[in-house]
Amino acid sequence: MTRFIKASDVGTGGARALAGSYYTSPEVFGAELERIFLDRWLCVGREEQLPQPGDSLVRTVGAECAVVMREPSGVLRAHSSGWSGSRILSLARWEGFLFASFADTPQPFEESHAPLMGRLTRFQMPRLRAARRIDYDVRANWKLLFENYSECYHCPSVHPALVKLSPAESGENDLTAGPFLGGYMALAPGAGSMTQTGRACAIPVADLPDADLKRVYYYTIFPNFLLSLHPDFVMAHTLWPQSPERTLIECEWLFHPEAASHPGFDPDDGVSFWDKTNREDWRICELTQQGVASRAYVPGPLSPRESISAAFDREVVQALRA
């Protein structure tokens, strides 16, 4: 049975925010590319994006380029194509998402991602289909985006519409350490989902337990994947760092494959709510980027409600020291 715990009960162990150089230094950014993004498994997309032989998608990390293609035989393969030459990359599937690794000998995906195996199968994500996609170009360090996503301490002042549908203090987490973090926030009484109207905008993504119909789950999957699971849709972000101060983000909204054939299907109700919320977050992150670049910046203590952000910071520091 999954055990959830309030973020404030986990605590931060006296953690403080990272030094400004973690967000502004080209040297730190280069180390992150080498020791994190070119060493870990990256979410590169969804299998549904490559339905036919010859279909492909391209992902760029620094000077490296990953090409994922469905071959004439129907098999999916990934290979690199960059300044360092071309070679076959490791490729893995999880819940309909594709993961690739530039590492020569990556840890087997089933081992590195063991805490996720079977955890979210009830949402039946492999069969979901994307109805919308929005790309964002954010002038902020990728870590600020992860840290922002990992807490709702900022929500009352930044997201007034969100806290009406899901109280900022309602969060409980089941993954509180390591590369995979998160848990759920409860929907307010009478709310059906996180939408402009507060109603569900589609049929449930699966035959979910009653508890899941009253929650939204938020997970960070290190180092470039943010996953938000609602009763009626799943929102997925992939992050692609471009520099210490710039990150490209792809956001997709996934629905039950038969949702469009049912009355009341209104994906824009959920998409518009989260597009607005995303832009509120990105703006705060961009302002924070300006703050950490200032000579006056001094890392302050993290709130007990920022325990997941603190755990993410520890994972980054540990990876850079490895």
pLDDT in tens, 283-310: 999 999 999 999 999 999 999 889 999 9
pLDDT of residue 86: 76
pLDDT of residue 85: 59
Instruction: Give the C-alpha separation, 30 to 37, whole Å.
Output: 10
197 burial via Cβ count (<10 Å: 0-12, 13-18, 19+) = middle
pLDDT of residue 233: 98
Instruction: Give the C-alpha separation, 250 to 134, whole Å.
Output: 6
Residues paired with 18 in a beta bridge: none
CA distances in angstroms from 148 to 88, 140, 216, 246, 289, listed in the order given:
35, 11, 17, 15, 12
Instruction: Give the C-alpha separation, 65 to 89, whole Å.
Output: 11
pLDDT band for position 81 (50/70/90)? confident
Q: Contact at 8 Å (CB) between 176 and 206?
A: no
Q: Which of 159, 151, 123 shows the shortest CA–CA distance to 273?
A: 159
Q: Which of 196, 271, 201, 265 shows the shortest CA–CA distance to 235?
A: 271
pLDDT band for position 7 (50/70/90)? low
Q: Which of 146, 43, 59, 131 shows the shortest CA–CA distance to 95?
A: 43
Quick check: helix, strand or coil at residue 277? helix
Instruction: Give the C-alpha separation, 266 to 195, whole Å.
Output: 10
pLDDT in tens, 85-110: 579 999 999 999 999 999 999 999 99
Reply yes or no on whether the pLDDT at 84 is more than 60: no
- Which amino acid would we find at residue 214? K
pLDDT of residue 12: 73
Reply yes or no on whether the pLDDT at 176 is more than 70: yes
Q: Please state, rounded to an integer, the average pLDDT across all residues of the chain.
A: 95
pLDDT of residue 14: 86
288 burial via Cβ count (<10 Å: 0-12, 13-18, 19+) = buried
pLDDT in tens, 226-268: 999 999 999 999 999 999 999 999 999 999 999 999 999 999 9
Structural domains for the chain = 5-38+120-321 (3.90.380.10), 42-112 (2.102.10.10)
Q: Contact at 8 Å (CB) between 278 and 136?
A: yes
Instruction: Give the C-alpha separation, 258 to 252, whole Å.
Output: 17
Q: Which of 322, 305, 310 shows the shortest CA–CA distance to 8?
A: 305
Reply yes or no on whether the pLDDT at 221 is more than 70: yes
Quick check: helix, strand or coil at residue 63? coil
Instruction: Give the C-alpha separation, 253 to 239, whole Å.
Output: 15
